[in-house]
Chain A
Amino acid sequence: GAVVSQHPSRVICKSGTSVKIECRSLDFQATTMFWYRQFPKQSLMLMATSNEGSKATYEQGVEKDKFLINHASLTLSTLTVTSAHPEDSSFYICSAATGGLNEKLFFGSGTQLSVL
């Protein structure tokens, strides 16, 4: 399957700082990428849909000023958690869509964010 690289895999930061997470599609161009959040023993919660060259579409209840998404190229999307607080601690996962017929969604390996 296609490869999606996500970095960093783990980050610990102080409350009030900002954290950037990168998501790259390595062997295909992804017009659309998705960002999810996952709490322990729960399923994926879609946060936003990121389209290359346009503003991200956020799901209801997700603060767009707190979770900044940039999709500057067909292979890179970034999620920046601004002024992070302990309640933002979670597992964040990105995915990239291959596009076209029989489109498939491939996931990054996830980022565990811990805010102290």
Chain B
Amino acid sequence: QKEVEQDPGPLSVPEGAIVSLNCTYSNSAFQYFMWYRQYSRKGPELLMYTYSSGNKEDGRFTAQVDKSSKYISLFIRDSQPSDSATYLCAMTSFTGGGNKLTFGTGTQLKVEL
């Protein structure tokens, strides 16, 4: 079993839809959670960074963490064609000292006109 599970998709939605992206994990030591967006042949871009359980909102993006269920989500409101990319969840057990992240496989999202 992988430490982090993420549905690879592809996920296709119409413009304006609410998108829900999810990851589950098995390591209860994970405390810090991130979502990255990666366009084709580009480096990942940090979208959201969360620590505690609950919701964190930034513009059209909301990150949700449920540590009791070992489940994290990223919601995208009013999705746009420019949101079409691969979304990677990542997590780590501690920060400082350059602790390496464990990544999900990424979910490919396509927002259609």
Contact B97 A107 (CB under 8 A): no
Q: 1/0 per residue B44-58: CB within 8 Å of A?
A: 111001010000000
Choose among A4, A103, A106, A108 the residue that contacts B96 (Cβ–Cβ < 8 A): A103
Q: Which residues of A contact B41 (CB under 8 A)?
A: 91, 110, 112
- Tell me the nearest residue of chain A to B6, going by C-beta: A43
Q: How far is the CB of B40 from chain A (nearest CB, A)?
A: 9
Main secondary structure, interface of A, reads strand
> How distant is the Cα of A4 from the Cα of B101 in the complex, in angstroms?
17
Q: Which residues of B contact A105 (CB under 8 A)?
A: 34, 46, 90, 101
Contact A101 B95 (CB under 8 A): yes
> How distant is the Cα of A58 from the Cα of B83 in the complex, in angstroms?
34
Total number of residue pairs linking A and B with CB closer than 8 Å: 68
Q: Number of contact residues on A: which range applies?
A: 20 to 34
> How distant is the Cα of A73 from the Cα of B66 in the complex, in angstroms?
39
> How distant is the Cα of A51 from the Cα of B104 in the complex, in angstroms?
24
Q: B-side interface residues toward A, CB under 8 Å?
A: 8, 32, 34, 36, 41-46, 49, 51, 88, 90, 95-101, 103-106, 108
Q: Which residues of B contact A51 (CB under 8 A)?
A: 98
Contact A97 B98 (CB under 8 A): yes
Contact A93 B43 (CB under 8 A): yes
Known: A32-B97, A103-B95, A103-B96. A110 touches B103 (CB 8 A): no
Contact B96 A99 (CB under 8 A): yes
Q: Which residues of A contact B8 (CB under 8 A)?
A: 41
A4-B43, A42-B105, A110-B42 known; 4 other A-B pairs, CB under 8 Å? A31-B98, A33-B98, A101-B96, A102-B95
Q: Which residues of B contact A46 (CB under 8 A)?
A: 100
Q: Is A100 an interface residue, CB under 8 A from the partner?
A: yes
